[in-house]
Amino acid sequence: MIAGRYGISGVPLAQMRFARALARRGHEVELLFGKTEEGQVLPLVKGVTVRSFEKLRVIQLLLPLVRYFRENRIDLVFSAGDHLNVIVLLAAILSRTKAKVSCSSRVTPFDTYSRVPFSKGWILKLMSQLTLWRATALTCVSEDMVEQYRTVFGRTRHMCAYNIIDDEHSRAALAAKVADPWLAIRDVPLIIAAGSLVPWKGFDDLIVAMRQVVQVMPTRLLILGEGHMRGELVELIVKHGLQSVVRLPGNVDNPLGYFSRANVFVLSSHVEGMPNVLVEAMLCGCTPVATNCPTGPRELLQGGKYGYLVPIRDPISLADGILRALRYPLPVDQLKEAVLPFSEDAVIARHFDLLGIQTSPRTNPVSIGSCATGG
C-alpha cells in the first residue's frame, strides 16, 4: 500500500477501509505511506501490514518504490492522488513490475493542472500524459469528476469508482459510545459538520448561517476537525454571540459516533472531490444538507432526492436548508438506499471489474495507495 502522508483526512481513511476489506477477503495487503503527519501514529489495520517511508516530498518516493517493486512480487497496486499516481506509474515503468496499477483521482483537475508553461501544474500534466499508459485502470471518485478529466485531457480512460463507506468497521464505530456533554443532553436538535478547518470547507458560512437558525429554532452545532482557521472561526462565533450553541471539539477519535447521535449533517464546502464524510453521515442516519459545490454533493444526493442542496457561499440559503432538514428529516430507509453504492461489496466489485480480475481468489501482496501531499 502506497500513500503520501498519513493523517486524519478523508482519503487515507478511505484507503484504510479498502485495505481492510481486501484483507478480509484473503488478500495479502501492504499499506505504505510516504510520511506520517506530525503528532500522528501509523494506524493498526487488522490483517494489513502498515509502514511508512518517511519521505517529506512525493518525488522522494520514486527510488524507494522502484526498490519495493523490484524486491517484492506485487500483483495489484492501488494509488490515489494525481501527484502520487505519476510517481507510482514511473516507478512501475522503471522497475518493470508486471503488477496491475489502478490510479484514482480525488480532487478536481481544474485545481491540479495548469496551461501555464513550466508551472508545477503544467509539468504534472505533461508527466501524467507520459505515464498514464502504464495504468491498468484510471478512476475518479465521482461521475462529475470524470467529465472534468475529459475536459482537461480530452479522450481519457477515466471511469467512476466510489470509496468504501459502509463496512463492518464503520457500523461498529457508529454504534460505539461517545463521551461529549452535548450528546448526552438531547434537549434541542444537534447539527454536526466535520472537516479540516480551512477556507474551502466554508465553516465561516455555516457559523453565520447558525445565527439565522437559532433565531427560528433552538439548536446546537458541533464542527469536528482541526486546522489553521480555528482562531478565525472562534472569533466569528464570539462576534455573533454563539458561544453557547457552537463548539469546535477538534479532532475526535470516532466521528461516526457523533454523526449517529446528530439530527442533521451539514457540508458547507466550496469545492470537494467526493465527500466521504457526507456518505458517512447518511450511513449514521443524519439528514444531509450540502452545498451544490463541484464535485460530489449533487451526485451523492441525486439532485435533492437524498438530502437538501443549497448554493455555495450563501449563509442565508444554508440556514434555510438546515431548517428544512430539521423540520422534514429524511426517512432512514431512504438514507440506507443512498449509501448502497458505497458498500464494501459494491465498491470492490467495481474496482476489480475495471481491472479485469476476479474478486475471490487469494493473490500476492496488494499495494494500495492514498492521497499524496507535497510535490
Per the model's pLDDT, the better-predicted residue between 318 and 177 turns out to be 318
Q: How confident is the model at residue 14 (pLDDT cuts 50, 70, 90)?
A: confident
The whole-number pLDDT of residue 100 equals 94
Closest CA to 134 of 92, 94, 95, 106: 92
Contact residues for 356 (Cβ-Cβ < 8 A; gap 6+): 136
pLDDT value at 334 more than 70: yes
CA 288/CA 191 separation, integer angstroms: 10
The whole-number pLDDT of residue 374 equals 40
pLDDT value at 258 more than 80: yes
The whole-number pLDDT of residue 138 equals 97
The DSSP-derived string for 288-320 is EEEE--SSSHHHHTGGGTTSEEE-TT-HHHHHH
pLDDT value at 363 more than 80: no
CA distances from 154 to 149, 150, 157 (A): 7, 5, 10
pLDDT value at 166 more than 60: yes
Number of residues that make up the chain: 375
Q: How confident is the model at residue 41 (pLDDT cuts 50, 70, 90)?
A: confident
Mean pLDDT throughout 123-129?
96
Set out the domains of the chain in order of their start, with CATH numbers.
2-164+343-368 (3.40.50.2000), 168-338 (3.40.50.2000)
Q: How confident is the model at residue 367 (pLDDT cuts 50, 70, 90)?
A: low
- Residue 198 φ then ψ, to 5°: -130, 160
- Nearest 10 degrees: CA dihedral of 274, 277, 278, 279? 90
The whole-number pLDDT of residue 53 equals 87
Our measurement of the distance from residue 369's CA atom to the centroid of its chain's CA atoms, rounded to an integer in Å, reads: 13
The whole-number pLDDT of residue 364 equals 60
> Beta-carbon neighbour count of residue 231 at 10 Å?
9
- Residue 36 φ then ψ, to 5°: -105, 125
Q: How confident is the model at residue 307 (pLDDT cuts 50, 70, 90)?
A: very high
The whole-number pLDDT of residue 366 equals 62
**Contact indicator for 63, 53 with CB cutoff of 8 Å:** no
pLDDT value at 87 more than 90: yes
- State pLDDT tens for residues 183-222: 988 899 999 999 999 999 999 999 999 999 999 999 999 9
- Residue 370 φ then ψ, to 5°: -120, 180
- State pLDDT tens for residues 174-183: 999 998 999 9
Cα Rg, the chain, nearest whole Å: 21
